[in-house]
Copies of this chain bind each other. A is one copy, B any other.
Amino acid sequence: MLCPDGGCQDPPAGTGRPPRHPPPTVIEMPRTAVFSGRTVTRPTIDDIARRAGVSKSAVSFALNDRPGVSPATRERILRVAAEMNWRPHKAARALGGARADAVGLVVARPAQTIGAEPFFGLLLAGLQSGLSARSVALHLMIVEDTAAEIEVYRRWTSERHVDGFVVVDLQHRDRRVPVLEELGVPAVVLGGPSGHGTLPGVWADDREAMLSLVDYLAALGHRRIAHVAGDEAFHHTRRRMRALKDAARRLHLADAVSVPTDFSDAQGASATRALLSGPRRPTALVFDSDVMAVAGLAVAAEMGVAVPAGLSVVSFEDSLLTRIVHPSITALGRDTFGLGGQVAATLLAAIDEPGSVRDVKTATPRLTVRESTRAPYPRTTA
């Protein structure tokens, strides 16, 4: 059954059409590729076919678990393939119209920001973990601005470089959404519940979260709450600001102001300084990000405002940061890693069965109470 070592060539009824170019002197060795001067052998299904004494097609059938080969032959082919340490050539498969088995994540942010926020890294890790379970790779690209981001969407789509995209940082009237819709490529937007057109969105209920947060602070006795918000261009920032307003009205709070920033520690710090120096100093500060919360904490310390005695601090985003500082910061936590996994699952579903996928609402962030919050001094119960 098995060919003698060294490989046999087309044993049963080989047509043996002559090789086209100068006939190679040796045809037994699997073709080699050159990497850094050293040659690396790389068997193809042709090599396997020759060794196993069957045709290319039989090998393909066997390797892909398709009918058309007998169990015995199948097993033999698989054994030979394993022996030769064969792996499919991605490009060759892709050329045949198969998937790229990769999804793209293109981020338009100043590079420094990427590293700064734990959020991004965790999301990345969760995304990866969800994708790698299905052996789908993640192509990451960091670009200057939205225009460049859109260009990458166009290029990668037409090059069939990826099977779909993950879109982050959903903005108000986001320009990327119509482009992706037009390209017709599967994509999942991190954000919602609106503003992402027909693309499926994965979102957490920021509104609900803000309402519960304000409820908690009000229950403690806080009547003057300020919100150091993120960038107003972002969808979720706007939702949070609106939710604070609504909660304040419902609870008849004395003060409830939102100050937009660019998410940077610098602007977070200066907003905090301004709020704490104002005439009607808030008794509680809500920060839209962990980085800003920590920066705000430092400002309070510098200004001699004790936390939580003189000021309660809450972060809208939980992470390592809020845990390790002193005092540790009460924060709304969501499972960012898990979120990444959900996004991955949604995107894979959208790739497999376009149209079948609808929005996914993730668990509403829950409050972890730490050292930075407490009832305000009586005097502030204006």
A118 contacts the other chain (Cβ, under 8 Å)? Answer: yes
Min CB–CB distance A176 → chain B (angstroms): 16
Instruction: Kindly identify, within residues 31 to 82 of chain A, every residue whose CB is under 8 Å from any CB belonging to chain B.
Output: 33, 35-40, 42
CB nearest to A116 among chain B residues = B320
Interface residues of A (CB under 8 A from B): 33, 35-40, 42, 85, 87-95, 97, 100, 102, 111-112, 114-126, 128-129, 132, 137-143, 155, 157-161, 183-186, 265, 269, 291, 294-295, 297-299, 301-302, 319-321, 323-326, 328, 336-337, 350, 354-355
A301-B321 Cα distance, complex, nearest whole Å: 16
A336-B111 Cα distance, complex, nearest whole Å: 11
B116 touches A184 (CB 8 A): no
B128 touches A161 (CB 8 A): no
A141 touches B128 (CB 8 A): yes
5 contacts between A and B (CB under 8 A): A35-B186, A36-B354, A36-B355, A87-B158, A114-B124
Main SS class of interface, A: helix
A124 touches B128 (CB 8 A): no
A33-B186 Cα distance, complex, nearest whole Å: 13
Report chain B residues within 8 Å CB of A114: 121-122, 124-125
Known contacts A87-B158, A294-B324; A36/B186 CB under 8 A: yes
Known contacts A37-B355, A95-B89, A295-B324; A111/B138 CB under 8 A: no
Q: A265-B324, A299-B326 are in contact. List 14 more A-B contacts (CB 8 A).
A: A40-B157, A87-B158, A91-B93, A91-B95, A94-B94, A111-B122, A111-B125, A115-B120, A116-B320, A121-B121, A132-B143, A137-B161, A138-B139, A325-B325
Which single member of B38, B93, B111, B294 contacts A184 (CB below 8 Å)? Answer: B38
A157-B126 Cα distance, complex, nearest whole Å: 24
Instruction: Give the copy number.
Output: 2
A140-B266 Cα distance, complex, nearest whole Å: 31
Report chain B residues within 8 Å CB of A143: 132
CB nearest to A128 among chain B residues = B142
A112 touches B184 (CB 8 A): no
Min CB–CB distance A67 → chain B (angstroms): 22
A350-B324 Cα distance, complex, nearest whole Å: 41
Min CB–CB distance A30 → chain B (angstroms): 12
A121 touches B115 (CB 8 A): yes
A128-B186 Cα distance, complex, nearest whole Å: 24
A141-B132 Cα distance, complex, nearest whole Å: 8
Interface centre among A40, A85, A319 (most CB of B within 10 A): A40
B184 touches A102 (CB 8 A): no
A132-B183 Cα distance, complex, nearest whole Å: 22
Report chain B residues within 8 Å CB of A35: 183-186, 354
B125 touches A115 (CB 8 A): yes
A298-B372 Cα distance, complex, nearest whole Å: 13
